[in-house]
Structure 1
Amino acid sequence: MQIAKELSTYLIGWRGYFGFCQTPSVLRVLDQWIRRRLRAVAWKQWKYGPARFAELRRRGVGRDLAAQTAGSPRGPWRLANSPALTIALPNGFFASLGLASVAARRPA
C-alpha cells in the first residue's frame, strides 16, 4: 500500500514531536485509528463481494467468516473492526509495509 509509506513520514514526525507527552494512551488510540482506517481503505479497494471473499481467503480467513464478511451490508469503517479484516490485515502486516507507529517508545 503506497499510502502506508507516505503516511509513515508524517507519523515519524509526530512521534518525534509528541513522543514524550504525558498521555501516551492518546498516541495508542491514534495508532489504532490509523490501522482501522487503512483496513477500511483496503476493503474499499477490493470493491466487490467476490473479490473481497477471494482476498480474505487468500489472507488466511476461514471460508464461513470470509463469506459472512464479504456479503455484509455494513460499511467499510464498521467492517474494518471486524475479526475477518483483523485476521487478514494484522498489525504486523502494516509494520511490514513500513508503517511507523506513533506510540512506539523511544529509549530514554
Structure 2
Amino acid sequence: KLKDKLRVITKRSNGQGYEKLKATLKMYVRGWVSYFKLAHMSDKIKRIDKWLQSRIRIFIWKKWKNNRTRYTNLKKIGIKVNQAYQWANTRKGCCSVALSPILKTSLNIQILRKAGYTFLNDIYLKVS
C-alpha cells in the first residue's frame, strides 16, 4: 500500500512541480513513519528508500525535458562538461537513465536531501 501511494505521488506525468512533490512526499512519509514507528522495519524502509530515490530521479529527469536543460542542470550539479554533454544526449529512456550511473552519481542522496526531499529512513531514525 505504501508503494502504491508513493507511486501515485511521484507519478512523472502529473504536472506538479518540485515544491508540490516535496511537500506531499514529506507529509505522507512523516505520517506513515509516525504510524509504524513501533515496528522494526529498517531493512524494508531502506529498500523502499532506494526505490523512492529512483522514482524521484525519474521525475527530475522527465521534468528537465530538453537535452539543453539536462546539460545545464548536470553542469550546475558539478558534472564535468564533456560527461554532462554525453549524459544529456543519451538516447535511453527516463527509467533506464534513473537506474544507470548517470543519475545515480549526479543526483545522489546527498544532493536530493540538500534539495529538500524527505526519505523514510531519515525520519525513521529521528523517530526511533
1:99 aligns with 2:112: no
TM-score, structure 2 length as denominator? 0.71
Other structure's SS at 1:105 match: helix
Query: Which amino acid counterpart does residue 105 of structure 1 have in structure 2?
Result: L
**Contact 1:61/1:87 (CA < 8 Å) preserved in 2?**
no
TM-score, structure 1 length as denominator? 0.82
| CA RMSD after TM alignment | 2.0
5+ long unaligned stretches in structure 2? 1-17
Aligned identity (percent) is 25
**Contact 1:53/1:67 (CA < 8 Å) preserved in 2?**
yes
5+ long unaligned stretches in structure 1? none
Task: Name the residue aligned to 2:89.
Answer: 71
Which moves more between the two structures, 26-35 or 76-85?
76-85
Select the structure with the greater relative contact order (CA < 8 A; seq sep ≥ 6): 1
In the comparison of the two structures, how many residue pairs are matched? 108
Which moves more between the two structures, 31-40 or 94-103?
94-103
Q: Counterparts of 1:18-37 in structure 2 under 5 Å?
A: 18-37=36-55
Mapped partners of 1:23, 1:8: distance in 2: 19
Query: Which amino acid counterpart does residue 118 of structure 2 have in structure 1?
Result: A
Q: Counterparts of 1:47-62 in structure 2 under 5 Å?
A: 47-62=65-80
Deviations 1:66-102 (A, max 9, x none): 1221111111122113333234333223323443321
Task: Name the residue aligned to 2:7.
Answer: none
